[in-house]
Chain A
């Protein structure tokens, strides 16, 4: 269906270009006087110029706004730049890295970041795949409507989600406590003012906004699994559970692994939710993951050198992690 449509469009496009080529070509062939023999470039040079025109602007922007700041950040991480030395800073070596690792709060925040990422990804993937499997069942009526309603948390701007949930976690007037007390008779929970509850609150918010992405990816993957596999399993009398683990999971894996890798990286670095729900780490700077911690160090405490060093550490952790993950999954793909 899709292919047929595409080839029709392609044929039309081809017809159009033929016509235009013809229109451009005709007058030139009729006018025989050699007015201006255009200086013809060699094929190789034409090719190079075309490639340069396609890539040039992007390369230029990426070099100036991504590569240059990256190397500048490396230099900053080796420097003593802070609010007192903003112009007259010096390169001082690896002292800032030593300072990062010797700060007791660093390890605490690092641990929180790992917990944050792991819990979020487990719920995102678990809920996303489960909902996708249900939505893909043939007996479900009104699939598009269910899907649209379930994608809403992804569609809502992240900062609005965060600020709204912050309101809903309000001790006296927030909907969460009101619902809990009306439905279960629970006494109100101090979501935003005690460290543990605040951390739970940011995680809940992020789980809410993150599961639709995994659901959408899983839905795409499910549609490419041939139905005959399930029919064959039915003939063999396999249970739903068995079918899920023996057919669905292995065949979803190639689609989910890149999405999960990306999801881990994005969650690890997701400053928006943590920063806005906890209003910059409240209570008492206890609600931080590494990125929000650096953000505060850089733009509220102006510890530029130190923050640059911590940025490098975060990047290093993610880089090593993804390399290992991608290697491992490539290996398992080969075996499978």
Chain B
């Protein structure tokens, strides 16, 4: 804001502070890379070198060809994809209705959405677990997909509603005068304008499914059915940890989500703040 009033010392201090925190942010990630490159005989090493002695891609080869990693990835992609599509479809329509229409129960619906954020994980998981046992849906994707969609939905609906609130109603009115049905006015005029919020909703739904451990740990029991979080946790066994496999897997799993997240971080700021301020 103010260039003139900042002293040189202040500038140096600011850069030093930023550098320190960037180091803290990046360092754990460099450790994952380092460990994933270590040859088998050096996994337990006290070296802090970024590129380890005798760096090798052996861990990646072992991970891809000697463990069910690819199977887990397929499972995760399947679950995350269904959850994302469901999340976007449901949140974009329900958020629109709540933003534009006044109907009986609207207020309680809104506060209900917020209240679900206060549920501890076990609050819904325990009853659903009992229900899944009774329906024999334990160890199935259907169970987990439904739970993920429902977990992600309240935040997504709230978020979409906040964004629709910032789009002027005059746009639909104009479309209606031009002969659009209410659905066309929504689908052709408002929906495309809500792209930033849709992107956030998709990202949030996807990450919910891709990164979830606690629910999957209860619902999925068969190693072949595992999603990635369960699989990677399995490498950290009770007795010994297969650090090389874990690190290689962690890196492969993180690269797509981190890339996606950073690419969309521009939207993240506008989507989150608009939703929050106008919510």
Q: Do A and B actually bind?
A: yes
Q: Which residues of A contact B (CB under 8 A)?
A: 6, 9-10, 13-14, 16-18, 20-21, 25, 46-47, 50-51, 53-55, 57-59, 61-62, 65-66, 68-70, 72-73, 76, 81, 86, 127, 130-131, 134-140, 146-161, 163-168, 172-173, 175, 178-179, 182, 208, 212, 216-217, 219-221, 224, 227, 230-231, 234, 240, 243, 254-255, 258-259, 262, 265-266, 269, 271-272, 275-276, 279, 290-291, 294-295, 298-299, 304, 307-308, 310-312, 314-315, 318-319, 322
Residue of A at shortest CB range from B249? A160
Q: Is the CB of B122 within 8 A of A150?
A: no
B218 at the interface (CB under 8 A from A): yes
Q: Is the CB of B11 within 8 A of A276?
A: no
**A259 to B127 CA separation, bound complex (whole angstroms):** 30
Q: Is the CB of A73 within 8 A of B250?
A: no
Q: Is the CB of A73 within 8 A of B258?
A: no
B239 at the interface (CB under 8 A from A): no
Q: Is the CB of B1 within 8 A of A138?
A: yes
CB within 8 Å for A54 and B96 given contacts A134-B17, A153-B25, A258-B279? yes
**A51 to B211 CA separation, bound complex (whole angstroms):** 33
How far, in Å, is B193 (CB) from chain A's closest CB?
A: 6
Q: How many residues of B sit at the interface, in one of the four size bands?
A: 35 or more
Q: Is the CB of A221 within 8 A of B5?
A: no
Residue of A at shortest CB range from B218? A299
Q: Is the CB of A164 within 8 A of B192?
A: no
**A39 to B185 CA separation, bound complex (whole angstroms):** 22
- Residue of B6, B89, B116, B218 near A137 (CB, 8 A) is B6
**A153 to B153 CA separation, bound complex (whole angstroms):** 24
B273 at the interface (CB under 8 A from A): yes
- Residue of B90, B101, B193, B270 near A13 (CB, 8 A) is B193
Q: Is the CB of A65 within 8 A of B124?
A: yes
Q: Is the CB of B14 within 8 A of A134?
A: yes
Q: Is the CB of A61 within 8 A of B90?
A: yes
Closest 8 CB pairs of A and B: A220-B273, A65-B150, A58-B94, A21-B179, A155-B261, A69-B127, A54-B97, A72-B127
Q: Is the CB of B232 within 8 A of A159?
A: yes
Q: Is the CB of B189 within 8 A of A17?
A: yes
Q: Is the CB of A307 within 8 A of B122?
A: yes
- Residue of A9, A54, A298 near B93 (CB, 8 A) is A54
Q: Is the CB of B178 within 8 A of A14?
A: yes
Residues of B within 8 A of A163 (CB): 232-233, 236, 246, 250
B103 at the interface (CB under 8 A from A): yes
B183 at the interface (CB under 8 A from A): yes
Q: Is the CB of A216 within 8 A of B269?
A: yes
How far, in Å, is B151 (CB) from chain A's closest CB?
A: 9
B35 at the interface (CB under 8 A from A): yes
Residues of B within 8 A of A149 (CB): 22, 25-26
Q: Is the CB of A159 within 8 A of B171?
A: no
**A222 to B122 CA separation, bound complex (whole angstroms):** 37
**A148 to B263 CA separation, bound complex (whole angstroms):** 9
Residues of A within 8 A of B240 (CB): none
How far, in Å, is B141 (CB) from chain A's closest CB?
A: 15
**A255 to B232 CA separation, bound complex (whole angstroms):** 37
Q: Which residues of B contact A (CB under 8 A)?
A: 1-6, 10-11, 14-15, 17-18, 21-22, 24-29, 31-32, 35, 44-46, 48, 89-91, 93-94, 96-98, 101, 103, 112, 115-131, 133, 146-147, 149-150, 153-154, 157, 171, 174-175, 178-180, 182-186, 188-189, 192-193, 207, 210-211, 213-214, 217-218, 229, 232-233, 236, 241, 243, 246, 250, 253-254, 257-258, 261-262, 265, 268-270, 272-273, 276-277, 279
Q: Is the CB of B265 within 8 A of A148?
A: yes
- Residue of B6, B14, B98, B146 near A61 (CB, 8 A) is B146
Residue of A at shortest CB range from B47? A178
- Residue of B117, B217, B253, B270 near A157 (CB, 8 A) is B253
**A151 to B266 CA separation, bound complex (whole angstroms):** 11
Q: Is the CB of B126 within 8 A of A315?
A: no
Residues of B within 8 A of A53 (CB): 93, 183
Residues of A within 8 A of B98 (CB): 55
Residues of A within 8 A of B178 (CB): 14, 17-18, 21
Q: Is the CB of A50 within 8 A of B1?
A: no
Q: Is the CB of A157 within 8 A of B210?
A: yes
Residue of A at shortest CB range from B195? A9
Q: Is the CB of A152 within 8 A of B48?
A: no
**A13 to B195 CA separation, bound complex (whole angstroms):** 13
How far, in Å, is A105 (CB) from chain B's closest CB?
A: 16
How far, in Å, is B180 (CB) from chain A's closest CB?
A: 5
25 A-B contacts, Cβ less than 8 Å apart?
Answer: A13-B188, A17-B184, A21-B184, A50-B182, A50-B183, A58-B94, A72-B130, A73-B124, A73-B127, A81-B130, A131-B21, A139-B3, A149-B22, A160-B253, A160-B254, A161-B28, A164-B32, A173-B46, A224-B273, A231-B1, A290-B120, A291-B122, A295-B214, A315-B118, A315-B123
A66, A146, A294, most chain B CB atoms within 10 A:
A66
**A212 to B127 CA separation, bound complex (whole angstroms):** 34
CB within 8 Å for A208 and B120 given contacts A13-B189, A156-B254? no
**A334 to B268 CA separation, bound complex (whole angstroms):** 29
Residues of A within 8 A of B236 (CB): 163, 166-167, 279
Q: Is the CB of B121 within 8 A of A291?
A: yes
Q: Is the CB of A65 within 8 A of B262?
A: no
Residue of A at shortest CB range from B44? A173
Residues of A within 8 A of B180 (CB): 17, 21
